[in-house]
Structure 1
Amino acid sequence: MVMDEPLDFEKEEDPLLPAPRPTKRKKIIGLDDLLLDYFETGKDKLKVKPTKSNRRPREYGSDDENTDVRENEITFCKLFEDCEEKAKELDARDDVPPWGQQIFGCQKAPLNLNDMGVEACQFLQSFCVSEHLGFDLEIQQGEGFLESMLMDGWLLKLVLICGSVEDSIASWTLTKLLYSSNKKLQVSATDFWDSILSLDEDDKLLANLGYFPSYSVLKCAILSYGYLFETSGSKALTSESATADGSDVGPPHNIIAWLRVVSACCKIRKVCSIFSPSEAEELLVIVISLLLDRGLEGLLLILGDCLNSLVLYFNTSEWESSCVMVAESISKRVNMDLNCLRIVDCITAITGTNARGKFLRSQLALQLLKINFGLKVKPENAEKVGSVEKMLKLVTSINVKEKECDFFRLYVSLVLMDNLLFSSDAFRDNAMIVDTWRNYLRTCSTQIEFRNWRLYAPKVRNKASYLLQGAVFRKSGDDGSLAPR
């Protein structure tokens, strides 16, 4: 052993000392170096071992296989034919057309509008004899002068200053309102009548009037527009059956002015009763019928204002009997399809929680249900609970599991029956009727299978579920009263 050499234990590393860290590679590995290492190691070569199949090679053209193929084809053809037959059963009845009826036919030219006699009115005569005008006004130019003053608003200002309107001026402006094709003149005449038919703080007219828009004048105007009044045993045509003969068919241009003047006449009932109850009933039938014209779909606000004004026009003693007459007239005009639901929904949206609107809705639903089931109930028995119970019994007797069940008719009946029951306090407070209705709704929502894709079957199931949720909040409370809808 050499004395200068280290001892053996001195060569050993101290276990208590930490191991030296590996030196970091100073060279940055680039993408080329990685690719080079990848290809040098042979990782790019796929080593796929061939697998031996234990299956026997398939022999084509064997008799057994051909027999199986033919049997499968026959089975598939039978399934396809069965599905086709079921599809034909589903489509045995055409789909329900959308709502909409032809309310207006061919428009007619108004009669005797040229000779209005407005040139002889005292208003123009005062301008002709005045020496302070600075120009001569000829009588032949009198109507054009009045039109300019009407469109500029001066005619209304002078009338309000004078406090009265001549009959010839009132008749002339109403004619321009109802028949003029000049849009600006038509709107100016409408604003003129809206103003002179307004009431002040003392519930008096702003100007004295001797001439008012009568029912005969308004009816003559709506007839010239082509409005299709009901004939015995017939109903208004559907929109699809309308024959378009140019621009003479369809909603008239002056219908907005007509609605506004009718609404203005109804709002002064406390001062002057322009219409009799029977005339107001016919006007209300006309306005409700206009809800079925698709060309007037954008005028719901104007239609709603006119409808509310007509509903409030009747006295309390008149409204009950008049409402039944209006409901009967409407039920004879409307088709028993989505059109009847359109009317009920629109009246609901327009009148809201108004007591008269709810009564009109319930009576209209009752009359439509009568027609749907071919019943004849006298008007004096319309409000009795017995007739409602009879309707409820007829609706709930429809079995949704029957093969011949008409789901569209059931859908219409569900909507009408719900409006009939819960639009009147006399029926919604009857716990027995409400419970019977709720049980039937539960039956419709649970016993119609999801696989049933017959016409309107899914809609009946969904509608019944929706109505059932609303009926839950109407159940009797501790005090025996029903919660408000």
Structure 2
Amino acid sequence: MDMNIDDPLDFEFEDELLKPAPVINNNKRKKLIGLDDLVEDHYREQNKLLEKQTKHTKSKAKKNKRSYDDEDRKEALLTRIVEKCHNQLKAFGEEEEIPTWGVQVFGDKKAFPPLHLPDFGSCNLLQSFLNNKLNSVVGLSAEKGDIFLEGLLINGWLLKLAFLCGHVEEPIAIWAFNTMLYSPKEELQNFSTEFWCVILSSRKEVDQLPVKIDWFPEYTDLRRALDLYGFLFKFSSNVGPINLDSDTEGPPQNIRAWVRFVTACCVIRSKKPIFSTLEAEEVVEIIISLFLDRQFQGLMVLLNDCMQAIINYFTDEEWCLSCEKIAKFIACRVSKDLNCIQAVECLSEADSRFKQLRSSVAYQILLSCFEGVNCGEEILRSLIAVNFKDKSCDFLKMYIYLVLTENWVLSNSLIEDNPVIYEMFSLYLRHCSNLISATDLRSYASKVRHRAAYLVHFSVQK
């Protein structure tokens, strides 16, 4: 076999690197993508996306239009239903304004007495400061006596000196009492009240105050303070509720001190009785009347403490007579609206005396509501005879009667031993819960029905 010297060797055919490069056909070369092509493709995709969004917006607009049309139809239907219900309600009479409890028990205030500084010459405590060699440092004088004494009170030194000496002189006692009830400065009111209350509440011996007090206020002094505050001793709740948004000036801040001092005085009866039985009865009536004034809602705890103290002030023999007298007084003064319910329910059920007074007040108010009624059986007989179907039936009155009857019967443990009263009360509750229709839309009809049903199931049958 003839071989040319220029021919490649056999192993050179197997080496990839030694193979000759293929011949490239220029006609088959791929086309290169330029920048103009990319821009053109971008705008083409943007146009497609814009067309798609336009179609979606048109479709959504058509859908929303159909939705708005549906909502308009539903709103028109709801309007017709509301108008129909309103017309049906008119058949039961005009809409009544729902009343609220609350009366104004304070009128115009009078001028407070001036707060005279104790006479230095008649007060040994002040004289001891004047004659002390350290007075050159303190600089006490008659001209600066009020500032000095107020400083002792506020810093607690006046109280410490009273216990240290075991004695409160008359000028100091009178000044602290008048400062408590008449000072316009709230800080002085609080500290002078604290001065008196701490002394009265401190325990040294059972029947003796821990500190000798040369002057002690009487009930006339407390009553005079109320008179200057503008308290209406002859108030009547028929004057209508007070308008809390009006510019009428309310009771003074000193009424807090008055209530606290009365509470402290009630606790020390065994040491120093300050109230007679008649005066204690009037204090109970005053505290109940304060419960009727909506301006005192922030003082409910303070008033409850005072009520607890004054009711426990009576002996057992005194309370048997005083309870009924207080109830009759309240029944004569309070109007036969929601105020009479407040007058009853402001009395907690903490103990037997509270329950007794609560029941007695409710009973006396019920007696005054029905002419010619003289006993509990006649009250219940009148209530059972009420025709709830009558269009002239006043369900607000029915609600008041129901709450009063509930408190009269259930707060009196003796009535449980009276089967006649208890059975008549149960029958009255069943009438209220069964004979008043659930569809009766008159004002307070549902309140009467629901409250009676609750009492039947949870109070009478327990």
Q: Which runs of 5+ in 1 are unaligned?
A: 1-76, 378-386, 475-485
Match of 1:12 in 2: none
C-alpha change, 1:200 and 1:80, in structure 2 (3 Å) is closer
Match of 1:302 in 2: 302
For the 8 Å contact 2:117–2:146, the answer to whether it is kept is: no
Question: What is the one-letter code of the residue matched to 1:90?
Answer: F
CA shift for structure 1 position 195: 0.9
CA shift for structure 1 position 150: 0.2
Instruction: Report SS of the residue matched to 2:224.
Output: helix
CA distance in 1, matches of 2:289, 2:82: 47
Match of 1:51 in 2: none
Deviations 1:44-101 (A, max 9, x none): xxxxxxxxxxxxxxxxxxxxxxxxxxxxxxxxx9x99997775345344733311111
C-alpha change, 1:388 and 1:146, in structure 2 (3 Å) is same
CA distance in 2, matches of 1:333, 1:155: 43
Question: What is the one-letter code of the residue matched to 2:255?
Answer: I
CA shift for structure 1 position 256: 1.1
CA shift for structure 1 position 302: 0.5
CA shift for structure 1 position 263: 0.3
Matched, 1:185 2:188: yes
From 379, 382, 389, the equivalent of 1:394 is 382
From 207, 212, 224, the equivalent of 2:211 is 207
Match of 2:155 in 1: 152
Match of 1:373 in 2: 370
From 140, 149, 174, the equivalent of 1:137 is 140
C-alpha change, 1:396 and 1:210, in structure 2 (3 Å) is farther
From 405, 426, 444, the equivalent of 1:417 is 405
Matched, 1:290 2:294: no
Q: Which runs of 5+ in 2 are unaligned?
A: 1-79
Matched, 1:466 2:459: no
Question: What is the one-letter code of the residue matched to 1:122?
Answer: N
Structural mapping, 1:56-135, within 5 Å: 87-88=89-90, 90-92=92-94, 94-111=96-113, 113-120=114-121, 121-135=123-137
C-alpha change, 1:374 and 1:253, in structure 2 (3 Å) is farther
For the 8 Å contact 2:430–2:453, the answer to whether it is kept is: yes
Match of 2:430 in 1: 442
TM-score (norm: length of structure 2) = 0.77
More helix by share: 2
Deviations 1:220-278 (A, max 9, x none): 111221211216xx4463234689455xx213211111100000001001111101111
C-alpha change, 1:80 and 1:465, in structure 2 (3 Å) is closer
CA distance in 1, matches of 2:254, 2:435: 51
CA shift for structure 1 position 399: 2.1
Question: What is the one-letter code of the residue matched to 1:107?
Answer: K
Match of 2:52 in 1: none
Match of 2:41 in 1: none
Instruction: Report SS of the residue matched to 1:139.
Output: coil
CA distance in 1, matches of 2:161, 2:124: 13
CA shift for structure 1 position 341: 1.2
Match of 2:263 in 1: 263
C-alpha change, 1:240 and 1:126, in structure 2 (3 Å) is closer
C-alpha change, 1:224 and 1:452, in structure 2 (3 Å) is same
C-alpha change, 1:200 and 1:115, in structure 2 (3 Å) is closer
Question: What is the one-letter code of the residue matched to 1:124?
Answer: L
Match of 2:174 in 1: 171
Instruction: Report SS of the residue matched to 2:225.
Output: helix
For the 8 Å contact 1:102–1:236, the answer to whether it is kept is: no
Higher mean alpha-carbon deviation, 388-397 vs 267-276, is at 388-397
Question: What is the one-letter code of the residue matched to 1:463?
Answer: R
CA shift for structure 1 position 109: 1.8
Instruction: Report SS of the residue matched to 2:190.
Output: helix
Match of 1:332 in 2: 332
C-alpha change, 1:358 and 1:265, in structure 2 (3 Å) is same
CA distance in 2, matches of 1:452, 1:303: 39
CA shift for structure 1 position 179: 1.1
For the 8 Å contact 1:118–1:169, the answer to whether it is kept is: no
CA distance in 2, matches of 1:453, 1:144: 66
Q: What is the identity percentage for the equivalent residue pairs of Structure 1 and Structure 2?
A: 39
Which has the larger Rg?
2
